[in-house]
Amino acid sequence: MITTLSEALQGNPYQGYAYSYPHKTAYRAFPSPIPLQQLWSAENREALFLYVHIPFCEMRCGFCNLFTMSNPKEDLVIAYLHALERQAGMVKAALGEAAFARLAVGGGTPSFLEEAELDKLFATLEKKMMTQPEAISFSFEVSPKTVTPSKLRYLRERGVDRISIGVQSFLEEESKALGRPQRNAEVHQALEWIRQTDFRTFNIDLIYGGATQTPQSWLLTLEKTLAYQPEEIYLYPLYVRPLTGLEKLGTDWDNFRLHLYRLGRDYLLSNGYEQVSMRMFRKKGVATAEDIAYCCQEDGMVGLGAGARSYTNAVHYATEYAVGRKGIKGIIGDFVERNPESYRYAEYGIQLNEAEQQRRYLIKSMLHSQGLSLDRFRQRFGLNPLDQYSQLHELLRLGLARLDAEERLSLTPAGLERSDPIGPWLYSESILALMHQYELQ
């Protein structure tokens, strides 16, 4: 068990993406199903985040550990959308009066759906969940292979104002080495179509650290990315995870990713972008979904679909988790075939006591460039986090965090680039124990 920050920083800084707490590998089956109405009855439902998961792609990239399966049969896709509709009806009934500040459809690759299937999806959002997509921040994920001008116009007309596309690299040989073969002509065409469709926010995902990548090729990819002037850019380090295509190759990946991260960060900062987190960069002066009145530390999330997670203050719940195709297929099959009444209950997840709620607030705040407001933490929990968590003093001592005059504690550039080891170092021992006991499917 890692007990000091020095130990946490000595190893590979890119062992996993610390983006949520508790991690999904800490989830377990509840002793008995918990009614959703009970879970949500005391929650603030004035500014929720609605997330819908479409677990299908045209191919499974070698680096991917998302909950998705490639090239499903058409009847499975249709059955899934019908199940999503049934679930939405039950969930909305359990929520009662609720308002959504943000909406996102992710995956997988939601643009894998054809327009008739998108019609079905939007009918579920509007008629079952009673959302108004055109009136709230609405993000939708696409891939170069699955977008067309017609599909993009459809999404824009139905209220989507943020499009996110995974490019990863503009060098075909690098994409192929990542287990994601794609033609540059196809990528550029997709990006031009997106830019022409005039979404308020255009995001491009890139990956650094592949075995064939060089600093020069990484800067070339960044240069080509900026030619499209996206409002947001995410820089993801390559992770080689169990049960993914790259892990099975057995390659020994080196640790030059930190150098590439710094190159990418400095390049974007010098070209008009600001850093929001270790991965996210946003064009200065541009209003994006980050400006919406939703706080991930404080406001709830409602997840629909197999693989989607939901968050109340005290309970996080989801379907079971898997990475391997067999495990994912089984979970999707169960989701499609289950008794509609079962959608009224949370069956799998984790219950957070007061201490874990505090720790989640701390971690989610610290991994964002805005940092942790000591005053806000005191108002919410009645405690000073500097008295509660000795680790924060170690971050300050090592120059990985700073405390400003407004009592906001945030990571320094040196700390932000080490977000992935710092995040798990802040996890509680009980959560780490659950994660270590988990057997990946």
Q: Is 401 helix (H, G, I), strand (E, B) or coil?
A: strand
Rounded CA-CA distance 367/44 in Å is 24
Is residue 18 pLDDT above 80, yes or no?
no
pLDDT bin (cut points 50, 70, 90) of residue 404 is very high
For the segment 116-156, what is each residue's pLDDT rounded down to a tens digit?
999 999 999 999 999 999 999 999 999 999 999 999 999 99
β-strand partners of 410: 402
Question: Would you say 368 and 360 are in contact if contact means Cβ atoms under 8 Å apart?
Answer: no
Instruction: Tell me the H-state helices in 287-439.
Output: 325-337, 354-366, 374-381, 385-388, 390-397, 413-416, 419-425, 429-437
Matching residue, tokens 């000073």:
384
Mean pLDDT computed over every residue of the chain: 89
Percent of the chain with pLDDT over 90: 74
- Class of domain 354-436 (CATH, top level): mainly alpha
Tokens of 270: 């010098």
Cβ burial 17-40 (10 Å sphere, 16+ → b, else e): bbbbbbbbbbbeebeeebebeebb
Is residue 65 pLDDT above 70, yes or no?
no
The number of residues making up the chain comes to 441
Instruction: Tell me the H-state helices in 294-373.
Output: 325-337, 354-366
Q: Is 143 helix (H, G, I), strand (E, B) or coil?
A: coil
25-291 fold? TIM Barrel (3.20.20)
Looking at residue 15, its pLDDT comes to 65
Looking at residue 62, its pLDDT comes to 59
User: What does the domain layout of the chain look like in residue ranges?
Assistant: 25-291, 354-436
pTM: 0.92
Is residue 186 pLDDT above 50, yes or no?
yes
For the segment 280-325, what is each residue's pLDDT rounded down to a tens digit?
999 998 876 555 555 666 779 999 999 999 999 999 999 988 777 7
Looking at residue 54, its pLDDT comes to 94
Looking at residue 214, its pLDDT comes to 92
